[in-house]
Amino acid sequence: MYAALWRALPGPVWVRLIILIVLIAAVLYALATWVFPWVQSFIDPQEVTVEE
């Protein structure tokens, strides 16, 4: 799968690397901005205490 993605990216190795870094950053940004807050609305947090 990763090899197919690498072959699908255009340009020489350094351009592919830059595109890949930008794609990873975009996915992480989307997860942190929209997906994680949406999932958190479904999770019921419980109060957990640790006794000494």
Tens digits of pLDDT across the chain (52 residues):
788 888 999 999 999 999 999 999 999 999 999 999 998 888 877 776 777 6
| CA 10 – CA 6 distance, rounded (Å) | 9
Whole-number pLDDT of residue 52: 65
Tell me the residue range of the domain where 16 lies. 2-40
Whole-number pLDDT of residue 23: 93
Q: Judge whether 24 lies within some domain.
A: yes
DSSP 26-50: HHHHHIIIIIHHHHHTTS-------
| Count of structural domains within the chain | 1
Whole-number pLDDT of residue 46: 77
Q: Judge whether 28 lies within some domain.
A: yes
CB 16 within 8 A of CB 6: yes
Whole-number pLDDT of residue 1: 74
pTM here is 0.70
First-to-last alpha carbon distance for the chain, in angstroms, is 48
Q: Judge whether 45 lies within some domain.
A: no
Q: Judge whether 46 lies within some domain.
A: no
Q: Judge whether 47 lies within some domain.
A: no
Q: Judge whether 19 lies within some domain.
A: yes
